[in-house]
Structure 1
């Protein structure tokens, strides 16, 4: 869309950086010429996978997140390494963190979790089915790995047991996709919503 005035970066100063982040202060000019300075974090893309089996169960990991000091359930995923293919990175993370190898990978959604202060693309993939590799996941990655009905994963969001942005977005996106594919009528389209309401 044309005719709009952008916010303009007038200067950026590096505060700190590392392998997976870059922290800067950015001087910004608004359309009305007012200015302000803000911290900005830039991080490499991350790739996550929602693994869904034929019974519409999703593969989740139980782990401790020290920043918020909570045990939560979430999707497997991690940073994309350099020029690594994003879908390959997502599949690699599933195998490393859960001990399951995805049978297929398709892009589900890409989003920015905190675009007002952070540039950190999150790419979520859908895997239809997975096979066990026979390896035990690293205890530092996951305390437990379990399959849950997709509708139960949505209920876990409501209970605050699944809170990560990528996991929440992916579960709702997959739930809408599965629901849309059901035939209309009793037991068909809309039944996922009824299942959630009946809990």
Structure 2
């Protein structure tokens, strides 16, 4: 089995958030093709559980897909920024809660066939309210949702984001006590 080989890449668009490139790729059978590559900053995601096995989620509208859904707080990681710190920072900015020590839950690449968008999801079971969210525009409301409801919310489309689905289903699986509530 052979790998695809990128001979080079040229930038077709770039701003501070994204760079879109066109790669010259050689397939294992020798054919060449142009392949779009979307390069994004790494994303840090925060899942915070309370003592009742509830997770704090944002209810928000995404104009790109035209959908309302629950999501975990997340954002881009700045150059040189520790991803765990970025996850905690984003969580506090978007919820008004300061999380405790963050532990890596999982790392995912939601679209590895076209994008370098690498998501690192951190979690903690400690948080304290520190005030109103600085970035309240990020969501319509913030809600503590029982982890036991996650499968239902995924199934009925009220959780749609791939990183949120992966993280919450894994937490649901790892914390069986939440299923007994």
Structure of higher CA gyration radius: 1
CA shift at 1:168, angstroms?
0.3
Aligned to 1:7: 4
CA shift at 1:124, angstroms?
0.1
Question: Which has the bigger relative contact order, CA under 8 A and spacing at least 6?
Answer: 2
* In the alignment, structure 1 residue 165 sits paired with structure 2 residue 162: yes
* In the alignment, structure 1 residue 73 sits paired with structure 2 residue 54: no
Using structure 1 for the length normalisation, give the TM-score.
0.86
Using structure 2 for the length normalisation, give the TM-score.
0.94
**Runs of 5+ consecutive residues of structure 2 not aligned to the other structure:** none
* In the alignment, structure 1 residue 20 sits paired with structure 2 residue 14: no
Moved over 4 A (4+): none
Aligned to 2:102: 105
Partner of residue 58 from structure 1, selected from 55, 58, 63: 55
Residue pairs, 1:175-190, within 5 angstroms: 175-179=172-176
Aligned length: 181
CA shift at 1:152, angstroms?
1.0
Q: Distance in 1 between matches of 2:5 and 2:12?
A: 20
Deviations 1:159-179 (A, max 9, x none): 101100110010011011112
**Runs of 5+ consecutive residues of structure 1 not aligned to the other structure:** 183-190
RMSD: 1.5
